[in-house]
Structure 1
Amino acid sequence: MNAQALSASSSSAPLVITRDMIARLDVAGPRYTSYPTADRFVEAFGAPQYRQALAQRAHGAGAVGGGAQPLSVYVHIPFCESVCYYCACNKVVTRHHERAIEYLEALYREIDLHVEVLGRGQSLSQLHLGGGTPTFLTDEQIEQLLNKLQSAFRFVPGGEYSIEIDPRTVDAERLGRLWAMGFNRISLGVQDFDPQVQQAVHRVQSFESVAGLMDAARKVGFESINMDLIYGLPRQTSESFARTLAQVTQLRPERVALYAYAHLPQRFKPQRRIDAKLLPPPVDKIGMLSAAIEHFREAGYDYIGMDHFALPSDPLAVAKRQGRLHRNFQGYSTQPDSDLIGLGVSAIGRIGPHYTQNAKTLDEYYDTLGRGEFPIVRGLTLSRDDLVRRAVIMAIMCQGRVDIESIELAYLIDFRQYFAQEIEQLEPLVEKGLVVMEPDGVRVSPLGWYFVRAIAMVFDRHLQADKVVERFSRII
């Protein structure tokens, strides 16, 4: 590695990332799966406000058959048999599988509450089961949950119906059953194939076992396989991560989600088991990201942005080329900017201009549903300014470009006047080659994609107002 700079290839010219740039821009900041971010949610928004938001969808343009965008639904299954030390998810570590019975009963009550307000048969085009470990449930329990959802919503043909899978919990037979239930996409949590890294994060699974599962999934007929990777893990080196990248492209998943490890042991107890001295320094982390982008591009993948890669034929890559890429609480998405219903403990959702989050503990989740109430404990109704800034930030995160005229026409503002302060704050990023100011827009440069969160942060009014960023992960 060059002592002064790291280089990465792009489709045109080499990209040079200096150590000084890393030092200045490797700050804590949001991932912008939403704007405003979830830390801005308030307890003043609760179950009554959520019920009203659902009713507005049901009785307005969102009435069944009324032409509303189909729903997305996320279901959070919190249970895991063992803890992965890097994990920052809301989870319950247990080997007592009978605990899932009570949880599913609560989920069914939550689904019924939505049917009471929305009516039965709202269109649904995207379903994702996440966690935790959704495959902690038995096949019978997963099928029962799907049947319940299908009785409440109308699943649109050709939709995306996906489930996160811990490779240690499934075999070829289970994959066949999941396909038969109606899932057409799976996401495999791999993180890293290096044995020493796996031991350091308490998640051991062989390359051979994952390769066998992917072969079985393709034989069954799964349309898309996503693989999750993490860079910046303990004992990871540039050399070991390069081997993992080679193994991943050998398996050729349709999508790859590459996340930077966020070490926040003060917030996430499992991370306290990680020795911070074993974590690679920021300069090595950016080297891993650079190597990954170059490696996947050479292997024929499109760089979707920030943390996603996809084969050119995958709908995610197609949506990026066509300017239809979106971002929601689950990351990048091909679905239109649709409402998202979050089911389960800690699940986050969005209905119109309203964000919501469920109770974070099982006890509170069960207790609220036992009283016949939605388990919403906090949320937010977006202001007009929030909506304008959300449009700008999502354009940066998804398309890498803000079209000034489009924003002005949609929100009836003078962009240069409204964002005069932000345009001034972009100047240092322009000088560094991260942003290009065009006559009709603001464009993220190829180099800027490495620091796209820092560019989006300029337009975050809440963040700029209080400057408190310690609660977020670092952007590299």
Structure 2
Amino acid sequence: MRAELATDYGQERLPRYTSYPTAPHFSPLIDAKTYPDWLRSMPSPRAASLYLHVPFCRAMCWYCGCHTSITKQDEPIKVYTTALRREMELVADALQERIPLAHVHFGGGTPTIMAPESFSDLVTAMRRSFFVLPHAEIAVEIDPRTLTEQMGKILGYCGVTRASLGVQSFDPRVQRAINRIQSVEQTAAAVHRLRRAGITGINFDLIYGLPHQTIASCLDTVERCVELRPDRFAVFGYAHVPSFKKHQRKIDEAALPDSLERHRQFESIAEALQQRGYVRIGLDHFALPTDPLAVAQREQRLRRNFQGYTDDAGDVLIGLGASAIGQLPQGFVQNAVTTRDYLQRIADGQLATAKGYAFTADDRFRADIIERVMCDFAVDLAPICRHHGRSVQTAIVDRERFARLVADGVVTMKGDRLEVADDFRFLLRSVASIFDAHLPKAVAIHSRAV
């Protein structure tokens, strides 16, 4: 039954629901004039989050779905980090206060492509523009192949508490097919370097559904990874969208596994990690029982945002850098996507906001439901409906899909409580989609559900 449903539902194109509404619904009507007004008018947050996007790598990984570009030179990176510092000042000026930060995330690209002194200068500027709380989590995404000893020390010196290392797969054949050659030894050296610098939170990113990937190679990668005992794993399905990411055309589509094989790869990884003491978190994360993410799940305060699953309780996310997305109580904002456009806007002394989305009351209502489904595998509709002044009958948009999910045993409905059956948690995105009022307008651009 599970295999049949993995095939049936797996071809659906659905959002990952790291936001609601999702980015395809953003509009240029929300721009660099709107954003400062939103910043000035929002209530002072108890704590906010900051995301900084660094869109550079030394080489292109063909599976990549991020906004990034390749540079062999350091000068473009220096120019870009100068713009990031200036953007911080512009945001701080609009806020008219040093808001407290509980979470900081450097993403990319490869943030550690910066020179160590540039990273240090950037953190200093951040602390000048914002109040970084003493207990704040500062996380950095890292390519283990390029992390130097000096950079590791600087990360520790700057107060970084968590590092996310891209692993994807240790299978040599898969690595050649995706243009990312990375040895176990390189990865282990990076982990040891970070731990010596005092960075105790270590995450590994794995991908399934890659060309030539097999269950055996997935399990071999897991075995090698758990020897290094990271605190967390994020296990993502490869999203093949060559019409949007032209470099993905270098991947042989004939070598990609189908939905059923992708499902089997993920479940094999999930089972192996759980056997080794990791707790399954939401759709695609795993953590040791003592990790803050696992604690948040047990206490039913797990959240989901553009970085995936988090224990971040705030509702303010400031996005800095090209393509970065931010979230305020009023809605979403996104910076200009291309580095050239972003740099020009900052050089002109304006915020780089190019598009966004203003929340409606219905959006807030549905966002709360979808987040609980994605985080808890269940949702009590009645209290959410009462909070938003809505009737339970209005919650489900796609009644036909809902009836199908019930008939297939994927979900059960007891009173006003919807639960996802344990064996079908891999269909979480399909369940969340029944509450999505925007989905019919943007199905084709999303990745496969399984």
Matches within 5 A, 1:34-73: 34-57=19-42, 61-62=43-44, 68-73=45-50
- Are the aligned partners of 1:160 and 1:185 in contact in 2 as well (CA < 8 Å)? yes
- Which SS does the other structure have where 1:167 is aligned? coil
Q: CA deviation at 1:424?
A: 5.8
Gaps of 5+ in 1: 1-15, 63-67
- Contact between 1:69 and 1:338, CA under 8 Å: does it hold in 2? no
When the two chains are superposed, the root-mean-square deviation of aligned CA atoms in Å is: 1.4
Q: By how many angstroms is 1:108 displaced?
A: 1.7
- Go from structure 1 to structure 2 and tell me whether the alpha carbon gap of 1:402 and 1:38 turns closer, same or farther (over 3 Å shift): same
Deviation at 1:282, TM superposition (A): 1.7
Q: Residue 9 of structure 2 contacts residue 449 of structure 2 at CA under 8 Å; is this kept in 1?
A: no
Contact 1:25 1:454 in 2 (8 A): no
Instruction: Tell me which residue corresponds to 1:460.
Output: 436
CA contact (8 A) 1:359 1:375 kept: yes
2:427 alignment partner in structure 1: 451
SS at match of 1:448: helix
Which has the larger displacement, 439-448 or 303-312? 439-448
One-letter amino acid of the counterpart of residue 90, structure 2: L
Question: Which residue, 436, 445, 448 being the options, matches 1:471?
Answer: 445
Q: 1:289 maps to which residue?
A: 266
How far apart are the structure 2 equivalents of 1:197 and 1:424?
39
2:352 corresponds, among 352, 375, 383, to 375
SS of residue paired to 2:357 = strand
Q: What residue number does 1:403 align with?
A: 380
Q: Quick one: distance in 2 between partners of 1:153 and 1:443?
A: 41
Partner of 1:28: 13
1:151 aligns with 2:136: no
CA shift at 1:26, angstroms?
3.1
8 Å CA contact 1:167, 1:213 repeated in 2: yes
Whole-Å Cα distance in 2 between the matches of residues 336 and 420 of structure 1? 26
- Structure-1 separation of matches of 2:356 and 2:144: 34
Which region of structure 1 is more displaced relative to structure 2, 381-390 or 210-219? 210-219
The correspondence for 1:224, drawn from 196, 201, 206, is 201
Q: Is 2:4 the counterpart of 1:19?
A: yes
1:263 to 216, 231, 240: 240
Instruction: Give deviations 1:426-462, integer Å, cap 9, x for gaps.
Output: 1221222211212241112212310100111111111
Are positions 1:131 and 2:116 aligned together?
no
2-structure distance, mates of 1:421, 1:371: 44
Aligned counterparts of 1:399 and 1:115: Cα–Cα separation in 2: 35
- Match of 2:444, SS state, is coil
Distance in 1 (alpha carbons) for counterparts of 2:61 and 2:252: 14
SS at 2:438's partner residue? helix
What is residue 69 of structure 2 aligned with on the other side? 92
The 5 A counterparts of 1:405-444 are 405-415=382-392, 417-419=393-395, 421-422=397-398, 425-444=401-420
Instruction: State how far apart, in whole Å, the 2-side matches of 1:248 and 1:278 are.
Output: 24
- Amino acid corresponding to residue 462 of structure 1 in structure 2: H
Amino acid at match of 1:472: H
Superposition deviation, residue 43 in structure 1? 0.7
Taking the aligned partners of 1:438 and 1:160, their CA distance within structure 2 comes to 39
Q: Aligned residue for 1:13?
A: none
Calculate the TM-score normalised by the size of structure 2: 0.97
The share of aligned pairs that are identical, in percent, is 38
SS of equivalent residue, structure 1 residue 398 = helix
> Retained in 2: the 8 A contact 1:326–1:337?
no
Q: 1:125 to 1:18 in 2, by over 3 A?
A: same
- SS of the residue 1:18 aligns to: helix
| 1:24 to partner: Cα distance | 3.5
| 8 Å CA contact 1:41, 1:380 repeated in 2 | yes
Which residue of structure 2 lines up, in the alignment, with residue 12 of structure 1?
Answer: none
Q: How far off its partner does 1:69 sit?
A: 2.8
Q: Distance in 2 between matches of 1:396 and 1:434?
A: 13
Where in structure 2 are the equivalents of 1:2-401 lying within 5 Å?
17-57=2-42, 61-62=43-44, 68-401=45-378
For residues 196 and 277 of structure 1, the distance between their equivalents in structure 2, rounded to whole angstroms, comes to 15
Q: Deviation digits for residues 390-445 of structure 1, max 9, x if unmatched?
A: 11111101112111232123101221x21365456412212222112122411122
Alpha-carbon distance between aligned partners in 1 of 2:148 and 2:82, rounded to the nearest angstrom = 27
My pick for the range that moved more, 381-390 or 167-176, is 167-176
For residue 394 of structure 1, what is the amino acid of its counterpart?
E
**What letter matches 1:191 in structure 2?**
Q
Please give the secondary structure, in 2, of the residue aligned with 1:474.
coil
Q: CA deviation at 1:370?
A: 2.0
May I ask how many residue pairs the two structures share in their alignment? Answer: 450
Larger displacement relative to structure 2 (43-52 or 206-215): 206-215
Q: Distance in 1 between matches of 2:331 and 2:129?
A: 22
CA distance in 1, matches of 2:85, 2:153: 25
Alpha-carbon contact 1:179-1:220 (below 8 Å) kept: yes
Per the TM alignment, residue 470 of structure 1 is displaced from its structure 2 partner at its CA by 1.5
> Which range is displaced more, 116-125 or 81-90?
116-125
2:334–2:354 CA contact under 8 A, matched in 1: yes
Which amino acid letter does the alignment assign opposite residue 43 of structure 1?
P
In 2: Cα distance, 1:18 partner to 1:198 partner: 28
User: CA–CA distance in 2 between the matches of 1:192 and 1:285?
Assistant: 14
What is the deviation of 1:354? Answer: 1.0
Paired residue secondary structure (1:458): helix
Structure 2 distance, partners of 1:219, 1:361, is: 36
TM-score by length of 1: 0.92
- One-letter identity of the residue aligned with 2:27: V
